[in-house]
Every structure is written in C-alpha cells, then in structure tokens.
Structure 1
Amino acid sequence: MSINRATLIRGALAGAGGVLAAFSALAVAELVAAFVRPESSPVVAVGGASIDITPAQVKDWAIRNFGTDDKSVLQAGILTMLALFAVALGLLALRHRRVGALGVLAFGVLGAAAALGRPDSVSWVDALPSTLGALAGSAVLYTVVGSLTGPGEAVTPSEPDGWDRRGFLIAATAAAVASAGAGALGRGLAQTRSGDVAASRASVTLPAPGSPAPAISSRAELRIPGMPPFTTPNKDFYRVDTALVVPKVDASAWRLRIHGKGVTNPLSLTFQDLLEGDLIERDITLTCVSNEVGGRYVGTARWIGVRLADLLRQAGVQPPSRGGPADQLVARSADGMTLGTPVEDVMDGRDAMLAIGMNGEPLPFDHGFPVRMVVPGLYGYVSACKWIEDIELATFDTFDSYWVKRKWAREAPVKTQSRIDTPKPFARPAPGTVMIAGVAWAQHRGIDRVEVRVDDGPWQHADLATEHTTDTWRQWSLPWQATTGTHTLTVRATDRTGETQTEQRARTIPDGASGWHSVVVTVT
C-alpha cells in the first residue's frame, strides 16, 4: 500500500469517525432529552435559537418558499452543517487527537447555551442533553480516531501503517451499535410520553356550547370546481409558528394564569374550568400575517371556547376606554412564544375566545391543544396564541412581544383582501363561459362588494355568496365570456366600512400584505 493511498484511507476513516462521533452525541442527547423534555435536544434548541436570530425578511422568505416544511428544511440544514463540521473534526483529530475531542465538547457548550437561552427554559437541566451528548461524542472521537493514529498522538507520514485496523473496526462498531440503541431508546421513551398526552386529548369530550354557531347556509358555499370548502378541514388548515417540536401538553396538568396590571382578582384556571364554563361556538376565519396577496395562509374553522372578555372581567380587568391601566394582553405559550394583543379589541364585543375545540373535535396538537386564543379581525401573530399558558395584562410601552421585537407592527388588524381561486394561474380554458370565483375577507368588518376586471376593461360586480358572519370569508363568482388569447384577471374587494382594498403592493412585513390579486390565463 503506498503512503498516499494509506493516508487517503486513514483520512476517510477519520472523517467517518467524526460523523460517528456526531451521531453518538445526538443519540445520547436525544435519550437524555426524553427524560428532560423534547425541546431541550440540541437540534431543537439550536434550531430555535437560529429562528430567533434570523432576520424577519429571511423568515418571511422561508415561509413563502417552503410553507409548512420550513422547519424540516431548517433541521435538515442544521444536520448537514453538523455532518460537515464532524468530518472536519475527525480529520483534525487525526493529527491533534485531543483538540478534535475538545471541538466536540465545544459544540456541546453551544447546544447547552442555546437550550438555556430558550424563552421556555426554566431549569439548568435543559443543558444536560447537549452536555452529556457532547461528552459521549468526544469520547467516541478520541477512541475511534485513536486506533488510526497508532501509539503516538498523531499520525505521521513515516508511519503510514501504524494503526490498528481491528481496533478501529471494533471501536467504530461498538460506538455505532451503542449509539443506535441509545437513539432508539430515546425515541421509544418520547413516543411513550407523546402517547400519554395523546390519550389525554382522546379522553376529552367537548360539551355542547351554551351559544352554538348558526348553521352555515348552503348559499354561503359555491359549488364551483376549484373553490375551497367554506369550512377548512383541520388537516388542511395552515400552520405557521416557530415551534420545531410541537408542544405536547397534558390537558389534566394544564394551567392558565391571568395576572398583571389592573388585575384585581388574579385567576388560575384548569382545563376542566373551561370545559365547565359558558362555552360559545363560532365560525371564524383566521389569517396569517405572512400571507402574500393571493396566498393560502387563510382558513375558516368552527371554534368552541370561552369568551376571553368574560374571563378578563372576572379578573377585574377594564379596557382602556373605561379607564383600565393595561392596553396590551401579553399571551405566553408553552414553547415560550409571546404575543401582544390590544385589550380594547379583546373586550369590544367581538367573539374573542380561549378555544378548546376546532371543527367539532378537541384542538389538534398542531393548532394549540389544549387551549389557544382566537380573536377575529387580527392577524395571528398578535392574537392567535397556541398552547397558551399565561396571560399578563401590560402596556405596549413597557413590553414588546416576540414579533414586535423583530420589527413587525404591534397592532395588526386584518387588511381587506380577495383572492381568485379559479381559474388557476396559467390555466388554459376553452373559449366560452368560464367561471371566475374566489374568496374575500375582512374579518369583523365583513365584505360588501367584490369586483373583477379582465385585462384593462371596466370593473364588473361579482355575485356574492350569502354572508355567514362578518367574521368569516365570503365566496364570490363571475361568469366570463372568454375569448381566445392571453388575459389578466384581477379582483378587488370592498369591506362593510366602504374601504376598497388598495392597489398598492406591500410585502407582508410589518403589518400584512396588500395589493390586488391577478392571474394570467390563456384561452385556447
């Protein structure tokens, strides 16, 4: 075997040893995290920290391009970078064994710091997964690469074959088997815990609401191919949040505190308290502020819950218009997220609620089980706190919530918007009657008029489906006598206050997108 070939083989094996060390570190960390909490694992902790420091424009880009897969893309990116660094550390350890092992420990320190720095971290034990995982990974790297360096600290060109092949295979195999076992045990324990929480959700029976939602008229939903259903199924409802691991909260252990400025009777509520409360049921359309013009981050569901204003009044809260000292409701989630909602909006008579049910079933975990906030008329980042566990009354001058710190507007009423759902962009319909149809929304104001324009022609009034409530979207349609050629179809809506959505294009940051939605079709 030539020296060059031996060196290449030894280098490849050292790089593989680095990857094995990283695998061992992650496997042990996941096992420890199963005893601590899933959010303390290094990939989740570092991923969460990465999300926190990512500029808002980049987050918005990721949501637009990857949708609900943005978190998977981030985790894949973290693991790819870790693998590359692991190879580098393996090669470094080939010549500087102790330095390479210390490099693994340095990554453990980074993971521990990220875990302790998370807003939902409450104990030093969150650092254990990254710390113990790094110690395991460091030991594996030191041992496995040690069999490649022979009797000395580092390999030298004069000792091309001075390494223990049998020792390397034994050490690498033992580390791989032990790591795989640790990872499997960790996943098993996590699945067991998740199963226990799933059983908690499965045991929930939603009571009949004291104030049921009115029946949805058949004339509120257009039976036109390509149109979305009036009520969005839970499996299709959009999800936009920063949680890399969906919090799994046991309903029997859940508690909600209401406290803070102007609260004369602090409350501590259980899930059973809400189940036994005065429940309302309402159809409400929610919209994410990251929804681009014509986007899909909007949906309607039937929610059941307790009026938030009733709970605030029970706690002694008065809105600012009646002399209350707090103008901001700060909601905190189980994952450490903070949202700030205007107290006046919550208490102005709209159906703001702490929801416990969605479309006839307990909230799905992805959408906030056991309890979330729903406030019609406001973008989700200032109102729709999922996995809520704390409500503090404060002021906008004294506290900036998570997204406000990142330059989003502190108050964000939903803008009047409309969307063409059919025909789709770049569709090729045949000449003749083509049905143009879509949805429009202006929650808590209602839609009064929808107009459609073909190319640069005059605006034409679309036919509006029956309005269900002012808090839900409204479907519309317009039959078009399509002629051969390429055409641009544009829509705009006017809300019940008389305001017509603006033509001026604006991105989602800082308070929601604006502009008219258009699609280009070719009639052939």
Structure 2
Amino acid sequence: MRRSILTGALAGLWLGLPYTALSLLAERFTGLRPLPTGIFDLLARQLPGSLVTAGIELMVRVLQGLQLGRTDVLAKRLELGLAYLLAFGALALLGGVYGALAGRLAGSTLRRGLALGVALWALAWLVDLAARWGAVGPLDGLLSSFLLSAGWGVALAWVHEQAMALAGLPHAEAPADASRRAFLARAGGAALALAVAGLALDRLLAGLGRAEGATGALPTPSAQPTPRSSAPRPAPTPGYVTAEAFEPAPGTRPELTPLDQFYRIDINLSPPRVDVAQWRLAVDGLVAQPLSLTYQELLAMPSHELYATLECISNEVGGDLISTTRFTGVRLADVLNRTGLQPGAVEVRFTCADGYTESLPVDSALDPNTLLCFAMDGQQLPEEHGFPIRLFTPNRYGMKNPKWITRIEAIGEPYDGFWEQRGWSKEAWVKTTSVIDAAQEGGSARLVVGGIAYAGARGIARVEVRLDDGEWVSAELKEPFSPFTWVLWRVELDAPPGEYRLTVRAVDGLGELQAEEQTDPHPDGASGYHRRRVEIS
C-alpha cells in the first residue's frame, strides 16, 4: 500500500510538469486559468484581510531589507513559487489518493484514469469558481481544462500500473512485459519534453505579443506634456535649478523609469488577458445616458499626456515600489460628462477584469488630471500594467489607480474597494517621502549624496541632509518634469574619513515637514526619515 501511494504521488508530481506547461499555453487561446493561478487568486481574494495584509507587509519588509533586487519582481517570484508548490502538492495528493484506492477500483485503466481526471478537473473548476467570486470561466477554457485533466489522469493511471507491475506487486491489469522499465523511462522523458516544449512555445508567444503591442499605433495627444505646464504648484525655491544645470549624484535613479522597470503590484499571479476585440467599457449607474465604449472609440476621443509618479501604499520608507512615467489617456471627466452624471452621484466605482474594485469621490473623478490611460512612456499599455485601460489619478497611492478596467459606475453612496475592505485607507493620500539613492566620495573629504523626494501635487520645497546628528544641509533640487512627479536632489557634504549615518528629510510645497516618526505601511502608507550608513576612507 505504501509503495502504491508513493508511486501515485510521484507520478502526479512528474506528470504535473506537462499538465501545467500546457495549461499555460492553453490560457493564451481559451481563457483557461492554470491551477497555480487559480490557487493563488483564491488565496489572495478569500483569505482574511488581516492575514493577507500581514503577509504583504512581511514580504515587502524582508525583500526590501535584503536588497536582492527589485521588490515587485522578487515578490511575484515568491508568489509564483508558493502557487506552484501548492498546485504540485495538490497533484501529488490526488496521485497518492489514487495509489491508495487503485487496488479497489473496478474498471479498466482508461476508465479509472478518466475518473481521476474528472476529479482534478472538478478541483480546478471549484478553485477557479471561488477565486472569481462565483463567475464561470469561458466554455472553451472549461473544455481545455477537462481535456488536460483527463490526459493527466489517464497518464497517471497507466504509469502507476506499469510501475507497480515492475515492482512485482499484483495489480488487476498489469501486463507482464519485460520492457516496462524502458517504457517508463521513455514516458518520463516524453513528459519532460512536452513540458519544455509547452513552456518554450508559451514564452515565444508572449514575446511576439509584446513586440506586436510595442509597435501598435497610438493617437496623437491633444496636448503634449511639458515640465510644470499643466497645473499650479507652489513657487519654486532658490534651491531649484534647471535640467541643464543640474548634475545628478552618481548612482541616482533615472528621472523617468524605463517601462520594463516600472513597479507592478496587484492581486494576480499573472495579469488578466483581455481580448480587446471583445472588450467593452461600460459606463453606467447614476447617469442620464449609459455608454458602452469599444477600445477604438475610446482611442478616438481627445487624449492628454502628463508626467507622474506612482507609489505603492505598501512601500517601506526608502523602498523601490515607486516609479515615474508619462501617462497617455482620455480624461475620465470627458467620459463621465458624455453620460450626464445625476446630482445624486457621490462616488465613481471601478470594476476590473480580475475582480478588483475601487472608487473615487466624484470631484476626484472629474479632476482634469485623472486619466483613463491607454499608454505609458509613449507605448501601448503593457498587459501587466492594465491593458487595455488603467486609471491614473493624482496624489493617491497606487491602490486607487485600478488596472484592466471593464466598468465605471456612478454610485450614490461611499464604496469600499478591494483593499479598503481589507483594512487599508480609503483616501490613500500620498505622504511626503525622501530617499537616499546614492552616496559617493567626491574627493577632498567631500561626500556627494543624491536621491528623490515626492509629495504628490503638493510638490517639494526643500530637501535637507545631515551626517549623524549634525546640522541639516539644504540640497540642490532639479526642476521636476511636472507637478505630479518626484524631484531629484543632490548635495555635497564635508566628510573626513570615518563612518557616518546619513539622514534625509523633505518639506512639501505647503511648508509641511515630512513626518519623522517611523510607521508601517498599513493602513495609510509608511512614514519616517530614510537613513543610510556610509564609510569614507
């Protein structure tokens, strides 16, 4: 019995390789969600909010503390690893259960394998159903899931039968074949080859999709963005210098984040794949004339661009979950004005292809700088950043900027979105933050320090840096791209050889000093001064 259970579990694991690889491939054509994706989505959506929040905070704190690479990339890899661990554990468990029951099951190997496949298909379907809050996936996805599950079940039943016969244990239909060992070796190799081929084809199609998206034509914006041109902000202080006169400290991050390095945090293991030909943006609720816009109809509306910084509310002090780019899109106000908002509308609620929901007060939704974006950095919106449409709204953390939007609804009462329901701030206003990116010796006992500071549309009036508990020294500030972007800063300090603790703080354009008290990201964003130790030789 023990050998039979172990054989079934190992077969379930090994055959899970082609099953999962082909599931990823089928996802591109049928909308099938692979079992690991379904398990992760289920956990992210159905676990208690306090547990999800604790997990996020712990993961972000550990990853940003270890500084092994980009936090968002490492976090997705950890999530991916957890999801696949759970999925392969489920496949091994099913295989082990089959091994325990194989000697008692009647019928042919094919029939038993099909029954096992149906059990896997039912498990995957129930997981997907729960993760989608009861929504049923596409029919072709269900069919492809059934075929893959049935194939896995039949293959497992056959491999189990051959392996048990090879071990010399009785089995109802085990043929006496001296070459079983060779057959099993070839079967294992075939499973591995099928998995590799499926993954390779999936990656190839993903690359072709990215290349096609990058070359897609975009409409010309009605107004090109220029630094400091689109909205009022406090007058610059004498610390500001022009872009031509400013020299960033070596090691300071780029002022504009390359699109492939723009941070990505969401509730999905892999981004939703939206068929733009079938996609419609529904605009309804408390409106006089509901709309249903196609992608091309949205692109045909007057478009606008602005440079802006976006920060994740779970970012630690000094963390890297913050990026700056050029957003291109249609003003949400233009879309809402076409519908005729009713006087009773209090908020605007967004529903997304992945089940995510969020809301904004009507006045924020009508802000001319709130955009329904179809491009970032002059390129078609990437799949992982919300294709076909995402929101940008100024002065709020990333959680208030939903992606993969499918519906916009004017509602008559306040609504708590996905993260608010899990204990995060409803307003999610960005806090003033400043970060030390780099500190290098500048010769003659000088230390060159640089980084960024950000306070939303409040702007940055002053950045100050000090060594240990010494005097605060004002930094030189580069004129920002727009009122909504971070500011690059630089300062040179007298620093004889020794070890020092650098500290930075910022004052926003309203004269408010950045909060010194260190607080966790939950529930309304981290605060505190960023510090860094340096050694001057």
Measured against the shorter chain, the TM-score band is: 0.7 to 0.9
Letter in 1 for 2:332: L
Tell me if 1:208 matches 2:220.
Answer: yes
Taking structure 1 as the reference length, the TM-score comes to: 0.83
Structure 1 residues 387 and 10: alpha-carbon distance in aligned structure 2, compared to 1, 3 A threshold: closer
Report the alpha carbon displacement of residue 519 of structure 1 after superposing the two structures with TM.
0.9
Of 386, 389, 393, which aligns to 1:375?
A: 393
**2:84 maps to which of 76, 79, 86:** 79
What count of residue pairs does the alignment treat as equivalent?
501
Which residues in structure 2 correspond to 1:287-436 (within 5 Å)? 287-317=311-341, 324-347=343-366, 349-382=367-400, 384-394=401-411, 397=414, 399-423=415-439, 432-436=445-449
Structure 2 residue 158 is matched with structure 1 residue 146: no
Counterpart AA for 2:365:
V
Which residue does 2:528 correspond to in 1? 515
The alignment partner of 1:117 has SS state of helix
Deviation at 1:59, TM superposition (A): 2.1
Cα 1:401–1:180, aligned 2, differ >3 Å: closer, same or farther? farther
Percent identical among aligned pairs is 31
Question: Are the equivalent residues in 2 in contact too, given 1:24–1:136 (CA < 8 A)?
Answer: no
Q: 2:288 aligns with which of 251, 264, 268?
A: 264
Alignment of 1:228-243 (within 5 A): 228-243=253-268
Is 2:60–2:315's contact at 8 Å kept on the other side of the alignment? no
Q: Please give the per-residue CA displacement for 1:460-479, whole angstroms capped at 9, x wherever unaligned.
A: 32222224432111122222
DSSP 3-state at the match of 2:307: strand
Distance (whole Å) between structure 1 residues aligned to residue 427 and residue 214 of structure 2: 36
> Do the aligned partners of 1:109 and 1:130 also contact (CA within 8 Å) in 2?
no
Mapped to 2, the partners of 1:476 and 1:190 lie a distance apart of: 40
Displacement after TM superposition at 1:442 (Å): 1.0
Whole-angstrom CA distance in 2 between matches of 1:352 and 1:221: 30
Residue-by-residue CA offset, 1:109-143 (whole Å, 9 max, x unaligned)? 33211212233844463544544433332322222
CA contact (8 A) 1:356 1:369 kept: yes
Q: Which runs of 5+ in 1 are unaligned?
A: 1-6, 319-323
Counterpart of 1:485? Answer: 498
Matched residues in 1 for 2:245 and 2:264: separation? Answer: 25
Query: Distance between the aligned counterparts of 2:250 and 2:220, measured in 1?
Result: 34
Pick one of 101, 105, 108 that aligns with 1:96.
101
1:439·1:473 contact (CA, 8 Å) conserved in 2?
Answer: yes
Query: SS of the counterpart of 2:458?
Result: coil
CA distance in structure 2 between the partners assigned to 1:192 and 1:276 by the alignment: 29
Gap change, CA 1:406 and 1:220, over 3 Å in 2: farther
Give the letter for the 2:409 counterpart: E
Q: Does 1:286 pair with 2:310? A: yes
Tell me the CA shift for residue 213 of structure 1: 0.8
Aligned to 1:458: 471
Distance in 2 separating the partners of 1:235 and 1:33: 23
- Measure, in 1, the Cα distance between the counterparts of 2:209 and 2:444: 58
Query: Contact 1:453/1:490 (CA < 8 Å) preserved in 2?
Result: yes
Residue 475 (1) aligns with residue 505 (2): no
Structure 2: gaps spanning 5 or more residues: 64-70, 106-111, 229-241
Is the 8 Å Cα contact of residues 220 and 468 (structure 1) preserved in structure 2? no
Query: Cα deviation per residue 1:420-474 (whole Å; 9 max; x = unaligned)?
Result: 1121xxx778661212222111112111122222211232322222244321111
Distance 1:196 1:408, change over 3 A: same
Pair 1:288–1:351, CA change in 2 (3 A): same
Q: Contact 2:227 / 2:480 at 8 angstroms: preserved in 1?
A: no
For residue 321 of structure 1, what is the aligned residue in structure 2? none
Displacement of 1:517 in angstroms is 0.8
RMSD: 3.6
> Matched residue of 2:323: which SS?
strand
Q: How far apart are 1:496 and its partner, in Å?
A: 1.8
Per-residue CA shift, 1:138-191, capped at 9, x if unaligned? 322222222344499x947xxxx9975534643663476378548846874896
Could you tell me how far 1:36 is from its partner in structure 2?
Answer: 2.2
Quick check: 1:219–1:466 contact (8 Å CA) kept in 2? no
Structure with the larger RCO, 1 or 2 (CA within 8 Å, 6+ apart): 2
Conserved? CA contact 1:340–1:401, under 8 Å: yes
Name the CA distance, whole Å, in 1 between partners of 2:333 and 2:201: 42
Using the TM superposition, name which of 59-68 and 350-359 deviates more.
Answer: 59-68
Q: Are residue 444 (structure 1) and residue 440 (structure 2) matched? A: no
Q: Is the 8 A contact 2:315 2:525 kept in 1?
A: yes
Distance in 1 between the 2:385 and 2:99 partners? 49
- Alpha carbons of structure 1 residues 180 and 106: separation in structure 2 relative to 1, 3 Å: same
